[in-house]
Amino acid sequence: MQLTNRSKQVADTKMTWMERIYLPGIIKGMIITFSHIFKKKPTIQYPEVQRPIAPVYRGQHVLKRDDAGAERCTACGLCAVACPAEAITMVAEERKQGEEKLYREEKFAATYEINMLRCIFCGLCEEACPKEAIFLTDRIVPTTYLREDYIYGKDRLVEKMDHRVDVSKRQTNNLADFKNNSSKAHNKTI
Ligand code: SF4
Ligand code: SF4
């Protein structure tokens, strides 16, 4: 019984003598192979040679310090809430007396971790941050064999003062204007 009319008659014609000796097919294949010898090689010798990446590429995160060297992050948790991959976790603590130079605000992240295996580098944490603290850079997260090596803590996220990262190219004009606006509360120190 025929249920649909989509069935096709499969061709069952006999191969010709030329097809049976396979020679034309082999010659055709060799021509294609040799033609590639003279073409520009698409292989990049990574990591010695690296492809240019787009100015808006989103790579490894940094937690930025302010100009005086204090950590900007106030552990508000907005980045974690905005993260669609649930890649960010943190533990907040209250700043003690004498720690004003270390932490910009009264509350800070004692622990801050990003799971780079979960992260999809969408940049929503950067957009959500009201303190201009977290940014994605043009750095590629290096591969490793151990899962725990992909959990980036503050030791790898907090930007060292002698290694500032220029993230201006990473931002859209609107975001850069908003974040650089000194009249906005997010740029004021408490
Ligand atoms: S870039 Fe996206 S996925 Fe990665 S931590 Fe930020 S919000 Fe989460
Ligand atoms: S990085 Fe920004 S959004 Fe995330 S906890 Fe710190 S201050 Fe809040």
Distances (CA, A) of 11 to 2, 20, 22: 20, 17, 19
pLDDT digits (tens, 9 = 90+) for 7-45: 777 878 888 888 889 999 999 999 999 999 889 888 889
d(CA 139, CA 36): 33
**Closest Cα to atom 2 of ligand 1:** 122
The verdict on the CB of residue 136 being under 6 Å from ligand 2 is no
Question: Is the residue at 23 inside a domain?
Answer: no
Scan for tokens 């908003």, then name that residue.
178
Q: How many domains does the chain have?
A: 1
Measured in Å, residue 81 CA sits from the centre of ligand 2 at: 10
d(CA 189, CA 107): 12
The verdict on the CB of residue 124 being under 6 Å from ligand 1 is yes
Whether pLDDT at 154 is above 90: yes
**Closest Cα to atom 4 of ligand 2:** 79
Q: Residue 76 is part of a domain; what is its CATH number?
A: 3.30.70.3270
Question: Is the residue at 16 inside a domain?
Answer: no
d(CA 88, CA 151): 10
Question: Is the residue at 29 inside a domain?
Answer: no
Task: Give the residue among 90, 93, 103 at the shortest CA–CA distance from 153.
Answer: 90
CA atoms within 13 A on the CB side of 70: 18
Looking at residue 53, what is its pLDDT?
A: 85
Question: Is the residue at 84 inside a domain?
Answer: yes
Question: Is the residue at 141 inside a domain?
Answer: yes
Q: Which domain holds residue 116?
A: 61-187
Question: Is the residue at 115 inside a domain?
Answer: yes
Under the banding of pLDDT at 50, 70 and 90, the label for residue 187 is low
pLDDT average, residue stretch 142-162: 93
Under the banding of pLDDT at 50, 70 and 90, the label for residue 124 is very high
Question: Is the residue at 8 inside a domain?
Answer: no
pLDDT digits (tens, 9 = 90+) for 55-89: 788 999 999 998 899 999 999 999 999 999 999 99
Beta strands in the chain (DSSP E): 61-63, 88-94, 107-115, 134-136, 151-152
Looking at residue 183, what is its pLDDT?
A: 75
